[in-house]
A and B are shown apart, each in its own frame.
Chain A
């Protein structure tokens, strides 16, 4: 045990932890004869397995079988201890067989090999250019399928020294990423990898931050580094031979498993270890077609002919057949939640028009940015129940509604909520209130969720309020309506709106005021490459304005600035020296456009 502690001294804390895991596994195997120790380590081991399995959710069955065999092997010996644990202790295998089957089935066609792994595994650190590479691969062979991870022969890894430059490096990365590194060498890959981490990290900062660098030099460096690694990694096994040899001999399958577990853990830390992210520095501004507003976007998209319309139609028909069943289940006290990829708005809309025409119903667009529980309750009290009073609080209102519905059992209300998991509704309180509404016998709720973590909104209490029945409705339809509101889109759209508002506001100003603003814009644009630019100080600004004959006293400038501030055209910030700095909170691209437009007009 002493040696191990030494090793721990020069590794970082987290990798030391990993090492400990690994060591625990190894020494467990090594000391198989020694019963006392073995028992002690089985604990760790099992814990790790459990963690993994929980995360893995549904692993490949075969893998699990292996695992079970292994644990059995270990457990079998002390079996005659007659422990008092009843077999209520939950059997994982059992669980997966019963509840995980569906998952396995669904993954069977496609990502069969390690489905569960794929979904829940940690991510590998990827080469920064991998995306482009993958894209070109996908593009190169149209119609034909390209395997995402090039399955290179593991040989390559060992052959690195002979390989040609550029490729070997990236190949190696891929092989490493391939999760198949278990096969590669007898060396505990964990240790080898850990050695790589800090190195590649520090190197990459220098080479990669400006990414996009296709210069051979970087690659060559990397290549050298790789060979280094190989050498290092070959050294280490020789040191560890005592340990690693029995591991390989004894239970190869187990070792594989172990490697996998530690790989996953290590990969996670690897990916999170570097604070610097390796991406290229290109920005959308340099691309000319960066800006599209909502309208043009729609126009453009309308020109795209949807593919697979026949199949989509078929899917939708399949779901439409469920309408009556949904109605039945809603009426019998269940509530229905729809999930799956694609907008479910149209589907629910069709549901509404086909079966809900004759009953009172409320459609709630959760994706609407201004939605709130209050507005939902208001529309129920005011429009459904025709109540004109006001309420002290939301809870009061809820109580009132609940009482009303309990009193009058002939009252029936259907709630259709698109995107129950939207920003505005996902809060705990909102969910509680909607849940309480839905638990009423004569309020029927059918909702859709899209966010990948949506089910986390509900704890057991809420789930029992909702009494959900889950229906998978994957439609692949575009989320047109859901993403159409300004805030749900990325930067590209936000450019157009400020621009138009800028011009509108400035048009209403005096020429002098416009001049003042233009001065500020120009100054900001001049400084756009200065990363430490925090704004133009008031004094400097005043000086400049005076020189341009725009103001005659600092009072007039202040008055002008107040007006700008009211229109949210500028922002003031106190610097570290206590001086006020002025800044236009609009991105530089928009400002450039604005200046160009101004010049055109004048």
Chain B
């Protein structure tokens, strides 16, 4: 993605419309990070529109594919039970947009560990994202951990990754050691996917 193109601030009035506009945007050669982020933020979360994708798992957060963006991007909904969190991870050279649809998520940013990672990873910053806010990250910005720190509320988030990727690295906060993991979907297009491997990141 390069510098911003002709920006007319589009507002997505429904999830369907959001997907439509995203398809249009991503069919272009030049795509603007700011435009996508504004678009994602403009969509006012309406649970009726995404409830069918929001499948929770008791033990950990889930990734539920909503749209495969004609190969240009993946749009998915993540469901976080109380206390569920991710490991520290990278984004395999892709762009990552994360919008809160329900509840709150805490995002902690980390610096990339030194080559010979052998010490505690450095925290850069942390923030709590509120409903309808949209965050953006890519590998040049850093690594992050995302977690639902609430003990009483679940959280739901909408993620866009471009280009799509199905594996990433997770990092041990105490040592900086990384470990490649494959990511899978808990459900796709509203249907539960049962796979042999249960590995998710």
**A and B form one complex:** no
A interface residue numbers (CB < 8 A to B): none
